[in-house]
Amino acid sequence: MTVLVTGASGWVGRALCARLAHDGLDVRAAVRSVASMLPGRTCPVVGPIDSATDWTEALAGVQVVVHLAARVHVMNDRSTDPLAEFRRTNVAGTFNLARQAVAAGVRRLVFISSVKVNGEATEAGHAFRETDVPDPKDAYGQSKFEAEQGLRHIANETSLELVIIRPPLVYGPGVKANFAALLRAVQRGWPLPLGAVHNLRSLVAIDNLTDFIRICMTHPDACNQTFLISDGQDLSTPDLVKAIAVAAHVRARLVPVPVWLLRIVASLAGRQQAVQRLCGSLQIDSSKARLLLGWTPVLTVQAGLNKAIEEIPE
């Protein structure tokens, strides 16, 4: 089977290509420029992803497309019209790819969306489910929601089989941004003012995500379904810090600072979103993936963190 992976040069894309190649599949790793090509992979260069992208060469002979490429969530976005920028790649670019995939005879498209389609936070005991009314709060989440809607319309009018996956925060070896900063802080033994946080958050290890994508590429019962996916073990932020400390073989240093004080300091520093992620809850009910597809995570949270701590970007 020949598989086209878009966004192949990204962190998740590289991991997915490696997994699929290990399984013996013919992997095409679509990239935007020659500089992004992956050693040892067939890498069609498609340029910027929008309504004008030509996918002809990349799609020839392909049975399954995994669409990872996207304009991702941008912190401190300086664009004058962020939603228009997200729509250019995440909506128009996605529709263009799907239509050309249909024309090329592609059987199935696996679209990697985001839990942000559901919303930004949950109340205790009320995990997000696939049946919830979408409630995106920012331009990125809105663009992913619009992409999902359009893809369903295309699938309904054609023979294209569509699978939508909405992951939460993905972690693992080489993870970047805020999660990498948290790994470094715990590994270096820094005191963290998170001891008084009482929340629950769902995560997904990159190995679990790539394994689930692999199943969704071929499983007959995944056809035209939407899945929320996680490790299946929700953690409070203090428990996450403790689990990272176990992985790093250090002592967790948690200081019980009141959450209301953390929020005031974050507001003054312009870091409200970061503190919301550390203090708020975001739970996912991933039981549909387990019941319908018989999927179980290949890694526990602790095993995923053990791997993540081995490779922390500077």
The residue annotated as part of the active site, out of 86, 140, 145, 179, is 140
Q: What per-residue confidence (pLDDT) applies to 53?
A: 96
Q: Give yes or no for a contact between 86 and 113, defined as CB atoms under 8 angstroms apart.
A: no
d(CA 139, CA 10): 21
Domain 171-205+231-284+299-314 has CATH 3.90.25: yes
Cα separation, 308 vs 192, in Å, equals: 19
Whole-number Å distance between alpha carbons of 1 and 106: 11
**Bridge-based pairing state of the strands 64-67 and 2-6:** parallel
Question: CA dist 17 to 64, 73, 175, Å?
Answer: 13, 22, 16
Predicted confidence pLDDT, tens digits, the chain (314 residues): 999 999 999 999 999 999 999 999 999 999 988 888 888 888 889 999 999 999 999 999 999 999 999 998 655 556 678 899 999 999 999 999 999 999 999 999 999 999 999 999 998 779 999 999 999 999 999 999 999 999 999 999 999 999 999 999 999 999 988 899 999 999 999 999 999 999 999 999 999 999 999 999 999 999 999 999 999 999 999 999 999 999 999 999 999 999 989 888 888 877 778 888 888 999 999 999 999 999 999 999 999 999 999 877 65
Helix 94-103 vs helix 139-157: angle between axes, to the nearest 10 degrees? 20
φ/ψ (deg, to 5) at 173: -60, 130
- At residue 171, the pLDDT reads 96
Look at the domain 2-166 and name its fold: Rossmann fold (3.40.50)
Q: Quick count: other Cβ atoms within 10 Å of Cβ 208?
A: 27
Give all strands (DSSP E) within 68-199, no chain letters: 108-112, 161-166, 169-171
pLDDT score recorded for residue 27: 95
Cα angle: 128, vertex 144, 176; to 5 degrees: 80
Rounded CA-CA distance 40/174 in Å is 20
Domain ranges of the chain: 2-166, 171-205+231-284+299-314
Quick one: CA dihedral 42, 30, 65, 287, positive or negative?
positive
| C-alpha span between 300 and 289 (Å, rounded) | 16
Measured CA to CA, the distance from residue 77 to residue 281 in angstroms comes to: 24
Q: Which residues are within 8 A (CB) of 270 and not within 5 positions of it... i.e. 6 or more apart?
A: none
Cβ distance 135 to 128 under 8 Å? no
Q: What are the backbone angles phi and psi of residue 26, rounded to the nearest 5°? A: -85, 105
Query: Nearest Cα to 2, choosing from 107, 111, 124?
Result: 107
Contact between residue 279 and residue 197 where contact means Cβ atoms under 8 Å apart: yes
Q: Which segments of 54-136 does DSSP mark as H helices, in order?
A: 56-59, 82-86, 94-103
Contact 101, 65 (CB under 8 A): yes
Distance CA 145, CA 173 (A): 29
Tokens of 73: 């969530």
CA distance 70 to 7: 7
| pLDDT at res. 76 | 53
State the pLDDT at residue 78: 65
Is 140 catalytic? The answer is yes
Lookup result for tokens 């490429």: 69
